Amino acid sequence: PVIYYISPQVWASRPGRVKKLARCIDKMIVILPFEEEIYQDAGVDTVFFGHPLLDIVPAINHQLST
């Protein structure tokens, strides 16, 4: 079996390559929450593992103050 940990960001640069990648792997383990749906929609057996820095670094609030 071919298991890919930390997916390549082909979904951003070349979205069509996600389906090509799907034909070559058995499972994808992703670290960003939105990646799970992208790869599952392409037919890849995908698991969201998480990113260690997302648990350490606090979320940044980008709201504009008025």
pLDDT of residue 46: 96
Q: Is residue 28 part of a domain?
A: yes
Residue whose structure tokens are 């390559």: 17
What is the number of domains present in the chain?
Answer: 1
Q: What are phi and psi of 33, to 5 degrees?
A: -60, -40
pLDDT of residue 35: 92
Q: Is residue 66 part of a domain?
A: no
The single-letter code of the amino acid at 6 is: I
Q: Is residue 63 part of a domain?
A: no
Overall average pLDDT of the 39-53 stretch: 91
Q: Is residue 65 part of a domain?
A: no
Domain that holds residue 17: 3-56
> Which has the minimum average pLDDT: 27-36, 41-50, 57-66?
57-66
Buried-exposed string 26-64: b where 16+ CB fall within 10 A, e elsewhere: eebbbbbeebbebbbebebebebeeeeeeeeeeeeeeee
In this predicted model, what pLDDT tens digit does every residue of 7-32 receive, in sequence order? 888 877 887 888 888 999 999 999 99
Q: Is residue 23 part of a domain?
A: yes
Q: Is residue 62 part of a domain?
A: no
